[in-house]
Amino acid sequence: MNVRRLIPTTAVAGAVALGLTALSACSTSDAADGGNADKLKVTASFYPMQFLAEKIGGEHVAVTSLTKPGVEPHDLELTPRQIGSISESDYVLYLKGIQPAVDDAIVQSGVKNTVDAATLTTLENHGSEVSGHDHGHEGEEEHADEHGHEDEHGHEEEAHEEHSEGDGHNHGEEGGADPHIWLDPVKYAEVAKGVGKSLEKADPDHAADYKKNTDALVAELGELNTAYETGLKNPATKTFITTHSAFGYLAERYGLTQQGIAGIDPEAEPSPARIQEIHTIAEEEKATTVFFETLASDRTAKTLAKDTGLKTGVLDPLEGITDKSQGADYIEVMESNLAALQKALGAK
């Protein structure tokens, strides 16, 4: 992983103190922000967590995302004010292993209702190549239920130990657990269930609404899963090439093979040997398209496509929504991703 992405824990600890000072200085203006005084103050680490908090929390929450639109989440550097605002939250939702700066700040914050989405489903190891097969999803719902109440800060470590593969800031390194669980609608629904239960516990006065909203979102994700199953049932090729190896869970879920030019880190440079290997794979597997993403450079994809005579296309890992996104929210962008995959794979 790029060294520049890591922020020392000591720096974060110092920034916490600064952040609390900055927060107290601006608390008057924050309090004047009408309409949010009685709402549960929720901090989400980046867009996939923000979407869950907003959909499930509904009118009872005021959600702030630490990652602004257009910012590559892995590169996020927190301001002292952001670090201070975490400590002032009623509820924090994040995904450990994606953003080391956020992980460290949350540990320092001491917020009681802190939920790591990685503890609400099972994480797996994915390299640059991920072949599609049924990988034993039995028991995952029970796993989600088992961890659904482990949302308080005091219970985090027990849950994290089970997922220690992905805990070591090794997002872009071989052998680390792949954190891109939100790109599998089934896993994302498991996380949604756990988030719903934790919000019920954090704010019992509105538990019925949280449950209703969770059920509605899980149903919507179920429809999305059915659309993917149906839409990708009979592809001409099962192999797709991407600059960012974020789609391992999606590939496994729907029987596809992801061939990443680099690794899980979206900015990692591919080796010459890997480029040559992709050339061979594209020819043998009749791959048609090299996919790039909206928040990172398309230079590698275009270079490879030119060398191999392949097309380029967008497959969005949904780490953020901008005006360049192929949709206004998670569901719409996932539908656009499905259409892009169907075209590239020759699925009917």
User: What's the CA gap between 185 and 226, in Å, rounded?
Assistant: 10
pLDDT tens, position by position, 79-136 = 999 999 999 999 999 999 999 999 999 999 999 999 999 999 999 987 655 555 443 3
User: What's the CA gap between 65 and 340, in Å, rounded?
Assistant: 28
Residues with Cβ < 8 Å from 251, sequence gap 6 or more? 130, 131, 132, 240, 257, 258
Residue 273 pLDDT = 82
| Runs of H (alpha helix) within 66-148 | 80-87, 100-109, 140-147
203, pLDDT greater than 50: yes
DSSP 152: B
User: What's the CA gap between 10 and 7, in Å, rounded?
Assistant: 8
The count of other CB atoms within 10 Å of the CB of residue 37 is 11
Mean local confidence (pLDDT), 12-29? 40
- pLDDT greater at residue 25 or residue 126: 126
User: What's the CA gap between 335 and 317, in Å, rounded?
Assistant: 12
Residue 127 pLDDT = 60
Radius of gyration for the alpha carbons in the chain, expressed in angstroms and rounded: 20
To which residue do tokens 């994809």 refer?
301
DSSP 225-277: HHHHHHHTSS-S--EEEESS---HHHHHHTT-EEEESS-SSTTPPPPHHHHHH
Lowest-pLDDT choice from 2-11, 171-180, 330-339: 2-11
pLDDT band at 312 (very low <50, low <70, confident <90, very high): confident
pLDDT band at 25 (very low <50, low <70, confident <90, very high): very low
- pLDDT greater at residue 171 or residue 255: 255
- pLDDT greater at residue 345 or residue 3: 345
User: What's the CA gap between 168 and 221, in Å, rounded?
Assistant: 30
pLDDT tens, position by position, 210-246 = 999 999 999 999 999 999 999 999 999 999 999 878 9
Mean local confidence (pLDDT), 187-202? 98
| Runs of H (alpha helix) within the chain | 9-31, 47-57, 80-87, 100-109, 140-147, 156-162, 185-202, 207-231, 248-253, 272-285, 299-308, 330-345
Secondary structure class of 202 (helix, strand, coil): helix
Angle at 166 between CA 163 and CA 171, to 5 degrees: 165
Tokens of 238: 């099962």
Residue 215 pLDDT = 98
Residue 266 pLDDT = 56
User: What is the chain's mean pLDDT, rounded?
Assistant: 79
pLDDT tens, position by position, 138-158 = 333 333 333 333 333 333 333
Residue 41 pLDDT = 97
User: What's the CA gap between 289 and 301, in Å, rounded?
Assistant: 9
pLDDT band at 34 (very low <50, low <70, confident <90, very high): low
